[in-house]
Structure 1
Amino acid sequence: STNLTDPRPFNLMFRTTIGAVSSDDDPTALAYLRPETAQGIFINFKNVLDTSRRKLPFGIAQIGKAFRNEVTPGNFIFRTREFEQMEIEYFCRPEDAPRIHQEWLDSYDQWIQGLGISSENLKHYEQTKEELAHYSERTVDILYRFFPEREDEAKQWDELMGIANRTDYDLRVHSKKPEDAEGKRINPDSTEDLSYFDTATNERFYPYIIEPSTGVNRTLLAVMMDAYSERTNEKGETRVILKLKPEMAPIKVAVLPLAKNKPEIVEMARRLKKELQPSMRAVYDDTGGIGKLYARQDEIGTPFCVTVDHESLEDGAVTVRDRDTWNQERVSVDKLKAFLCERL
């Protein structure tokens, strides 16, 4: 009863032409937008090695745009045709690759959780031999629970990032010397040898590569999903709270005057914001009632709000409100910066 078309190939790379007057059918002008950042690192391996004189192990990191002609883009920024990618190509001796691969995996677990993403929403997926890319000896995907609304728990997860042991495949195929079983050059177009000479052992070989590959868009989406929460206030209104880790919050403190028609309160609030600014990202806002101002800062993840009120003019203290608990604490102005720095 299904109405399926015949199978046909899909090209997941974006085609373009180089030259303002080149025609679409000119094969000499044909080019493709890069689907990943890694290949540029591989072909520049010798330049980096010659100029930096690094010894194994060492890595080259790159962040930039990648383009994929996805068949089914969607789910907000989960899958897009243009996205930001972060990749590290970490070069090492072949015998050290399994250990280093595991070390990178453990380090990325810590890094991801350091962004505020709960370990309950993370898990590893070890690719089977049938699933491994042709160049990979081992690949582990770190999955995030991107689709918690799905009833089937197995379908709630999708890839956040992957860490692959790419062996020596990339440097070999980009080099001019390697030959196939018939004695023919694997890459007849290459003019460089991307091997590595170890002066300590007098060995020349192609290093293995450990590659952590991360999508910035998906990482941002995971951080936002984990931070998103809702809470009902005493009026029965549902408020959104973005519980970002303080390190991740773009604004650390909002300084708010309780009465914007009182010049003394406004002046004190603006002065406090100016004093806090060198130590933390602070903003001043008087464009609404105090309740709306609190709600606005909760929605953008500001950890603390500092309110200057009528009593502040008399006792030299302000009210500090915590984003996550909504608890309020009276703090002396001369101790305010230390109070906030300790909690940010």
Structure 2
Amino acid sequence: MVDLRHLSYLIALAEEGTVTAAAERLGIQQPPLTRQLRALEDRVGVPLIHRLPRGVELTEAGKLLVEEGRVLTARLEQALQAARRTARGEQGRIAVGFTSSAGFHPLVPNVIRAFRDKWPGVALALEEWGTVDLVEAIRHERLDIAFVRMPGTTAAGLVLEDVLDEPMLIAVPAGHRLARDIPEVGIPLAALADETFIMYRRSAGPGLHDAVIAACVAAGFSPRVGQETPRTVSTLSLVAAGLGISVVPASMRRMDAGNVLYISIASPGLYAPIQLASRRGEPSRAVRNFREIVRRMAQSAAAGAA
């Protein structure tokens, strides 16, 4: 087996022209270099060097081996550089997920943009699913990290990190009675006792669903659910159609659903946390870099809101 060390000896000889000069360049003595070159010829099985009265010259086979050796050496250096960049999180690929409602919060696209600007060599694959599906995808390594909404329980081996708490709003169709003369402090949840609710399906996001139900029960009533949808964005379409009201994260008002008005909830308010889900002990430097950007930008957003 010929290794790259032996090829480097032959390349140095070809470029320096003499064994003495090649030995000086390589930082070894001339006799050991001569022995290594002869060992290389033995391993290849053909003469690589013509030994002349003064100096040496490469045979045709030696010249070809030098050319191919340079290619192999360059490829190895490229591979080593790529490995180092990957270890630093400067190269590679990560798969990032987000719920439809989290995707409307400005933090999420801002984080993605900042990450791409800082680490353009890392390919980002983006997926939009429900919270339960996102958690399962991370657990089965189809995703690396995801913005989720209150998954309820955390699968073994995963970690949840709080990012921010987003207030929730009441979404009503335009012209609804609740949209008349809204107090500056908003309206209490108890005012929704006689309304038909359009809810985000519990199987897709149990935490957020249960939080709304629990808040209504604490306000003195059990909500009457008329429709359930697989995505929070779908609830707004049904609200716009006049099929009921909904309680949604505040960032959802960025969606132009048409014919929908948003009303603040009077204290005590209701909040929809955005959390970052990832595998515990995640070894990928790129994923850790992504997490660090989320932390920094969330802190900046919190400081700006204070």
For the criterion TM > 0.5, the same-fold answer is no
Query: Greater relative contact order: 1 or 2 (C-alpha under 8 angstroms, separation 6 or more)?
Result: 2
Bigger fraction of residues in helix: 2
- Normalising by structure 2, report the TM-score: 0.30
- Normalising by structure 1, report the TM-score: 0.27
Larger Rg: 2
